[in-house]
């Protein structure tokens, strides 16, 4: 049994769900956070049956500015020690900037940025005091360049990538035994795509799409090694490297093309294709 307890946000689906299974597979006790209690309880039961690790659940909507404080207070009341904080929860919306409702823009900022900041502000100081701890922030390759039609989402992930690197450097310079790792996936077969209105775009239908199991495994391994960044997939690594040779305008145009819809006859992929294939290959 690994004694490091991991708190994972957005753990009822997608990358967060598979991160939960990956941590449990390595024996970590878990605290799972997502908005819907019934979904969390179902996930917890499945993980416990498969991996035989302790799993606690906390149902909170992280867009609420009191959620992080309430999570910290609730866990403190249970005398629960969090050794690993996984800031995974996030979402995006596709659309022209002048047509997007401001509520959707603010929603992305609150979940993708503010919730990450607030949770870290609560759970990092005890780690520093203990001189041990790990943080895994889920950024994105989207955070390395601008993304027309998904502009606010790219900007929120740029914040996560940049802030995480700065925080990791501060902690390293203070030699306090706490590490920060940023997981930067590319297109991944999760509910992010249908929820963001991206299922019919080139980003899902034509790009190299990862299985969430593979992304979770890469993130876990990098975290435990104390790596600063991890970009799963060779194509994603190439896209990140291209920012060194492409102008910002060229990067923006490339991303804009990814987010345009393809004709119906060219839409061959369905949500879950890559995730199910990965399940089959691991049996």
Out of 122, 153, 220, 259, pick the active-site residue. 153
Q: Report the Cα 139 to chain-centroid distance in Å.
A: 6
Which contacts qualify for 51-54: CB closer than 8 Å, 24 or more apart?
51/21, 51/24, 51/25, 51/27, 53/1, 53/24, 53/27, 53/28, 53/29, 54/29, 54/30
pLDDT digit string (tens) for the chain, length 283 residues? 689 999 999 999 999 999 999 999 999 999 999 999 999 999 999 999 999 999 999 999 999 999 999 999 999 999 999 999 999 999 999 999 999 999 999 999 999 999 999 999 999 999 999 999 999 999 999 999 999 999 999 999 999 999 999 999 999 999 999 999 999 999 999 999 999 999 999 999 999 999 999 999 999 999 999 999 999 999 899 888 887 788 878 889 988 999 999 999 999 999 999 999 998 777 6
Question: What pTM, to 2 d.p., does this model score?
Answer: 0.95
Domains in the chain: boundaries: 6-281
- Would residue 220 show up in a list of annotated catalytic residues for this protein? no
Rg (CA), the chain: 18
Yes or no: is domain 6-281 CATH 3.40.50.720?
A: yes
């Amino acid at each position: 049994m690994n004694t490091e307890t991991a708190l994972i946000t957005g753990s009822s689906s997608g990358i967060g769900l598979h991160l939960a299974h990956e941590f449990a597979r390595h024996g970590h006790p878990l605290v799972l956070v997502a908005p819907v209690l019934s979904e969390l309880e179902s996930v917890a039961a499945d993980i416990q049956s498969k991996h035989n690790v302790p799993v606690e659940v906390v149902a909170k909507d992280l867009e609420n500015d009191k959620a992080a404080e309430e999570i910290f207070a609730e866990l403190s009341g249970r005398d629960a020690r969090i050794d690993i904080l996984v800031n995974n929860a996030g979402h995006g919306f596709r659309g022209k900037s002048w047509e997007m409702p401001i509520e959707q823009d603010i929603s992305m900022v609150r979940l993708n940025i503010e919730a990450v900041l607030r949770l870290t502000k609560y759970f990092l100081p005890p780690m520093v005091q203990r001189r041990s701890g790990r943080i895994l922030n889920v950024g994105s390759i989207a955070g390395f360049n601008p993304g027309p039609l998904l502009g606010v989402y790219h900007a929120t992930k740029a914040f996560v990538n940049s802030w995480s690197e700065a925080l990791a450097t501060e902690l390293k310079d203070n030699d306090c035994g706490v590490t920060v790792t940023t997981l930067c996936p590319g297109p991944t077969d999760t509910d992010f795509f249908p929820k963001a209105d991206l299922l019919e775009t080139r980003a899902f239908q034509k790009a190299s799409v990862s299985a969430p199991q593979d992304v979770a495994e890469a993130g876990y391994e990098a975290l435990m090694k104390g790596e600063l960044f991890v970009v799963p997939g060779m194509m994603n690594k190439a896209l990140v490297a291209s920012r060194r040779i492409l102008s910002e305008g060229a990067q923006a145009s490339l991303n804009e093309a990814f987010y345009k819809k393809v004709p119906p006859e060219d839409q061959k992929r369905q949500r879950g294709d890559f995730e199910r294939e990965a399940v089959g290959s691991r049996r």
